[in-house]
Structure 1
């Protein structure tokens, strides 16, 4: 199975202050991390085989065009899985003991298709930010933004994260 190609995972604090317990919105600093992943036709084919979703709009350019798309499109559940994996990897970077969080809730809407052109893997830019925290329960809410070809593909997307031992670093 072809493995998606990931760039280096980057994360940063907008400010050096922590988010107060239960705080939300843009008035507080947010922890953010970004990553770019690519999906090729081979990846789509492999996902179709594993998932059993062999809808021709994902596999056959003529079928995709007949359905109104310029070319084949990625599976929505493949995108959701990449987003969840990205959130888990990022949570490990911010966990106190470098442990991964567990996603307890995850929701997203498919805003636009990811077009998969022959010989040109689609680049999907992922960005997550922790928007609120409920300390000392070790929970946090993360917002996920996924873009491809300058358009949102998962919008809005959010996840509830919980760290089994210690939650995110900093005094939230």
Structure 2
């Protein structure tokens, strides 16, 4: 392993506000909901969203990652550009209020922390999204491992150039390295996952179909099994803007050290969020969602891959009528989520 020749820790605190806003579109919400197989009516019907008290279609939990990917491009390309590859390990979504169609979101981007673990840098990027009224809507933390040197196949850059669509810049540093293939990312603790400073606003109203009095610690959510085909991966790539060819091209996946094409980590997170909100009945009742990735879902060309989601109530808080759900996601017998939790507000 060749270590980085720069001190990225000096960039901690680097911050900028994106010049333009991201406008949340009605049809984009529907496209994304279909891509993550989330068919809650509030993502599709204004009437259904209105019955829950929302002014427009409600965006799925992980929808904000689309805007974050655009906002973070400057950081990854110009500020922390000394790595060959970034491997996503952890993701945290804090929902101060639901995102709805028509919101105009401005992102503040900050390199929040850098830690050196086992010879590699763990970098956490914080996105704070404010709407047109100046209110904070969502805060998102993304933790990645920065990798340099010998873990990256020398031919992957040219191979990617040959297969991506014209007009799309996919730097090799956004690819997934062999570090994912042998499960090593599971050994990297994350900086954002352990932070639980976010609290639910006392005025936040939950229209969940689940009453607080009806849940107890240890209760289990109904199991959900989702199927993923190559077509699902291609569709998600187009909708979300994540065009990394390891998710749809066999040769590139092999060059990255993977056994086959794999599903996007953010796609499996989206499926997991939908698993929770389908049970809740109100997408806005999910207020914090944190996932540590430990493995991947393989999607072969000849057959669909599958992910099984299960969950149980870990803790409850009578004062805020809140609960924490632990989510388990498995594919082909492997745990996809090393640790995943959903903080929910109940009726």
Both structures adopt the same fold (TM-score exceeding 0.5): yes
Cα deviation, residue 4, structure 1: 7.0
Counterpart mapping for 1:87-126 below 5 A: 87-92=276-281, 102-126=285-309
Cα deviation, residue 45, structure 1: 0.1
- In 1, the alpha carbon distance for the partners of 2:225 and 2:310 equals 9
Counterpart mapping for 1:16-165 below 5 A: 19=216, 29-92=218-281, 102-163=285-346
Cα deviation, residue 30, structure 1: 2.4
**Aligned-residue CA RMSD in angstroms?**
2.2
Structure 1 segments unaligned to the other structure (5+ residues)? 7-16, 20-27, 93-98, 167-172
Residue 18 to residue 71, structure 1, CA distance change in 2 (3 Å): closer
User: In proportion to residue count, which structure has more strand?
Assistant: 1
Cα deviation, residue 3, structure 1: 6.5
| 3-state SS of 2:302 partner | coil
Asked if structure 2 preserves the Cα contact closer than 8 Å seen for 1:91 and 1:101, the reply is: no
Cα deviation, residue 103, structure 1: 1.4
How high is the TM-score relative to the length of structure 2?
0.38
Total equivalences in the alignment = 140
Structure having the higher Rg = 2
Cα deviation, residue 128, structure 1: 0.9
How high is the TM-score relative to the length of structure 1?
0.74
User: In proportion to residue count, which structure has more helix?
Assistant: 2
Cα deviation, residue 136, structure 1: 4.4
| 3-state SS of 1:115 partner | coil
Cα deviation, residue 56, structure 1: 1.0
Cα deviation, residue 33, structure 1: 2.2
Q: Which has the higher contact order (CA 8 A, sep 6+)?
A: 1
Cα deviation, residue 5, structure 1: 7.3
Give 4+ residue runs of structure 1 displaced > 2 Å after superposition: 1-6, 28-33
Residue 5 to residue 105, structure 1, CA distance change in 2 (3 Å): closer
Residue 100 to residue 113, structure 1, CA distance change in 2 (3 Å): closer
Cα deviation, residue 32, structure 1: 3.0
CA offsets 1:76-108 (integer angstroms, 9 cap, x no match): 00011000000001223xxxxxx5662111111
Residue 139 to residue 18, structure 1, CA distance change in 2 (3 Å): closer
Deviates further, 100-109 or 80-89: 100-109
Asked if structure 2 preserves the Cα contact closer than 8 Å seen for 1:33 and 1:129, the reply is: no
- In 2, the alpha carbon distance for the partners of 1:160 and 1:111 equals 21
